Amino acid sequence: MDFSFGPADTTFRQEARAWLAEHAGVQPPGWERELGRGGWIGIGWPEPAYGNRTATLTQQIVWAEEYARAAAPARTGHIGENLLAPTLLAHGTPEQKARFLPPIARGEELWCQGYSEPGAGSDLAGIRTTARRDGDTYRITGQKIWTSLAHDAHWCFVLARTEEGSRRHHGLSFLLVPMDQPGRIEVRPIRQMTGTSEFNEVFFDGARARAEHLVGGEGNGWQVAMSLLALERGVSTLAQQIGFASELEKVAALALSNGAAAADPAVRDRLIRQWSELKVMRWNALRTLGSSADAGAPSVAKLLWGRWHQRLGELAMAVQGAAATATPYDWNEAEPYRLDPLQHLFLFTRADTIYGGSDEIQRTIIAERVLGLPREVRVP
């Protein structure tokens, strides 16, 4: 696929850059609504029917690149925009699209993803959360874990077992669940090594979801979930790589300023390797972007960037030397556990090979779906 940029893309880049510069002072929680007012949410959707702009694939790349370069605020609405919305466009009813897509495009309703569970991890078919039909609603009971942004979300799309006695990928359904249900939904933040809590445990105790908010039909949740997972790695990976490049620049700058690069040829070699591998990841992302023919491409991309990012965190610690073992900040009671950006990078990247589908799961996908090797034996 040709990703050369033409005059229209150049104009689009100038518009995106100017808008981001003009709105540089806006911070969360108002940032999502500001994006919505500008029409910048949902530019990858096929039609401008919900208050969003539409953009070609190259223009989506331009927007992602300019967003990353502007160091704009971290998105809290990307789960609804990039995962749920395309799923509704593919599988939702007209009523579901009319209800949920406009507030996503306006930045008014935030979403989280109710997939992973304790004891199942990346094995999505091991779901034990149940949803039982009760008139015009479903009653949901169970637990989800590693639920990003659940503490801020208004809604959660939940994969639950609606057929009693079903196993593995059979009998699952995809439900849209409101999070504001005191006594029925509890969100518990998970404190990480970094001291932050982006992930959560979510407990459902008879939580209600309307039957009209069942997506794709009862028992078809696996098919809906698989189509959603295919959306997790797309244009956003290019923006992610720009963020990676910025982190690498900081590590390289420190290695130059503190003498680590001059004193240790191994550090110089590692810096060069990180730079060249990042270039390869970009070329691979461009090569596979917009194509659904390669079933293993998302798994290969995840393996590449997960390990790369971990190695960058390790390199950051090597460059800092002994200073990496202690915080550079004075202790204070209000914030007793404070890390510098490179320490945070190192600790956070320990999870890169686990979340979003562990490396083991990605290798199994490649083995079975690409190489045609015998399927892994799974305990029922």
Known catalytic residues? 232
Could you write out the three-class secondary structure of the chain? Answer: CCCCCCHHHHHHHHHHHHHHHHCCCCCCCCHHHHHHHCCCCCCCCCCCCCCCCCCCHHHHHHHHHHHHHCCCCCCCCHHHHHHHHHHHHHHCCHHHHHHHHHHHHCCCCCEEEECCCCCCCCCHHHCCCEEEEECCEEEEEEEECCCCCCCCCCEEEEEEECCCCCCCCCCEEEEEEECCCCCCEEEEEECCCCCCCCEEEEEEEEEEEEHHHEECCCCEHHHHHHHHHCCCCCCHHHHHHHHHHHHHHHHHHHHHHCCHHHHCHHHHHHHHHHHHHHHHHHHHHHHHCCCCCCCCHHHHHHHHHHHHHHHHHHHHHHHHHHHHHCCCCCCCCCCCCCCCHHHHHHHHHHHCCCCCCCHHHHHHHHHHHHCCCCCCCCCC
Q: 331-335: long-range contacts at Cβ-Cβ below 8 A with a sequence spacing of 24 or more?
A: none
Distance (Å) of CA 39 to CA 36, 59, 75, 89: 5, 14, 15, 18
Tokens matching residue 206: 């008879």
Rg (CA), the chain: 22
Sign of the dihedral through C-alpha 72, 74, 76, 82: positive
Residue 295 backbone dihedrals phi, psi, to 5 degrees:
-65, -25
